[in-house]
Amino acid sequence: QVQLQESGPGLVKPSETLSLTCIVSGGSISGYYWTWIRQPPGKGLEWIAYTKKTANTDYNPSLKSRVTISLDTSKNQVSLSLTSVTAADTAVYYCARGHYDFNLWGQGTLVTVSS
Amino acid sequence: EIVLTQSPGTLSLSPGERATLSCRASQSVSSNYLAWYQQKPGQAPRPLIYGASNRATGIPDRFSGSGSGTDFTLTISRLEPEDFAVYYCQQYSSSPRTFGQGTKVEIK
């Protein structure tokens, strides 16, 4: 079955760029929308962005100026870049399939922003 | 942006009891584009319901969703020990996609 596995740096310094990868196994990423969602420790869920291909991409306005989502079909992975991070960006970041409801989720990766 | 408000914040119930969770939207959710998720500590959210009332694959029939417009409900007919968790609603009627703040169902 299709599985999602996020990976990231774990710790990022303030003002730096956070880069995350979601490797999709058991199926192709082509033809599907892919989404990033985050959850600060002890808090709720926040949708970040989704994409299917460049022409089918949407961002949360609250993060749009700092976020880029992309697909690499050759590696079957989804990536997220978040620039100028602050402590408020500390969260578990989830990769999920879909752009309406999200029917498949990865286990998430914790990113802490701290000097 | 559609704001989703879930109530109550915490629901204290015993196994075997019925749980009724509410999700109210700040504006109408078109086409009943509303989903529900269950999340346990240290785990990713698990899809339960989509389209307001359709159970996701593998979800037992004690979970049911209902509602339309701005008022939606998730009902768990008889709580099993594994159902104690946090539940989130999410709308996909418009962008940005938004989630409610969650309802925690705890053991009384």
* Percentage of the residues of chain B whose pLDDT score is greater than 70: 100
CB-neighbour burial class of residue A70 (10 A; exposed 0-12, middle 13-18, buried 19+): middle
Residue of B nearest to A95 (CA): B44
Q: Do A44 and B44 touch (CB under 8 A)?
A: no
Say whether B102 and A46 touch across the interface (CB within 8 A).
no
| Strand B46-50, strand B63-76: pairing | unpaired
Residue B106 is encoded by which pair of tokens? 């705890």
Question: pLDDT digit string (tens) for A24-36?
Answer: 999 999 999 999 9
Pairing assessment for the beta strands B19-29 and B4-7 based on DSSP bridges: antiparallel
Interface test with A, best of B48, B49, B86, B97 (most A CBs within 10 A): B97
Beta-carbon separation of A101 and B88 below 8 A: no
pLDDT digits (tens, 9 = 90+) for B41-84: 999 999 999 999 999 999 999 999 999 999 999 999 999 999 99
Q: Measuring CA to CA, which residue among B106, B30, B40 is closest to residue B72?
A: B30
pLDDT at A54: 73
Positive or negative: CA dihedral B6, A39, B83, B64: positive
pLDDT at position B38 is 98
